Amino acid sequence: MIDKKVLIIDDDSSLLQLASLIFKKAGAQVVTANDGLDGLSKLFVFQPNLIILDVMMPGNNGFDVCQRIRQVSDAPLIMLSALNQEGEMLQGLNTGADDYLVKPFNPDILLARARSVLRRVRRLNESNAHSTPPGYDDGYLSIDFERHEVLVRGTRIKLTQVEFRLLVYLTRNAGKLMTFEKILANVWGDQYQGSMDFVHVYISHLRRKIEENTKSPRYITTVRGVGYIFEKQELAYRLTASETGSPH
Measured CA to CA, the distance from residue 182 to residue 177 in angstroms comes to 10
**In this predicted structure, what is the pLDDT of residue 161?**
81
At residue 195, the 3 state secondary structure works out as coil
Q: Work out the average pLDDT over 60-79.
A: 88
Q: Under 8 Å CB-to-CB from 177, ≥6 apart: which residues? A: 223, 226, 227, 228, 229
Domain regions of the chain by residue span: 5-126, 132-244
The CATH code of the domain at 132-244 is 1.10.10.10
* Contact present, 63 and 95 (Cβ < 8 Å): yes
Confidence of residue 244 (pLDDT cuts 50, 70, 90): very low
**Cα gap 191→132, rounded to integer Å:** 29
Q: What pLDDT, on the 0 to 100 scale, is given for residue 218?
A: 92
Residue 51 and residue 101 in contact, taking contact as beta carbons nearer than 8 Å: no
> Over 50: is that where the pLDDT of 31 sits?
yes
Kindly indicate the confidence band of residue 133, based on its pLDDT and cuts at 50, 70 and 90. Answer: low
Position 99, amino acid: D
pLDDT score, position 221: 95
pLDDT at site 125: 64
Domain 5-126 coded CATH 3.30.1490.20: no
* Residue 179, CA distances (Å) to 5, 136, 199, 209, 212 in order: 34, 22, 10, 22, 24
248 pLDDT higher than 60: no
Q: Would you say the pTM of this structure is higher than 0.85? A: no
Give the separation between CA 244 and CA 248, rounded to whole angstroms: 10
181-226: pLDDT as tens digits: 889 888 887 667 777 888 898 999 999 999 999 999 999 999 988 9
Edge-to-edge strands, sheet with 227-230: 178-179, 227-230, 220-223
pLDDT tens figures, 42-61: 998 899 999 999 998 877 78
**For the chain, what is the mean pLDDT?**
85
Instruction: Place 246 in a pLDDT band, splitting at 50, 70 and 90.
Output: very low
Task: With a cut of 70, say whether residue 242 has pLDDT above it.
Answer: no
Share of the chain above pLDDT 70, in %: 89
| Residue 209 buriedness (CB in 10 A; 0-12 / 13-18 / 19+) | middle
| DSSP class per residue in 16-69 | HHHHHHHHHHTT-EEEEESSHHHHHHHHHHH--SEEEEES--SSS-HHHHHHHH
Type of residue found at 170 = L
* DSSP state at residue 188: I
How many whole angstroms separate alpha carbon 166 and alpha carbon 182? 11
- Classified as helix, coil or strand, 149 is strand
Cα 48–chain centre separation: 16
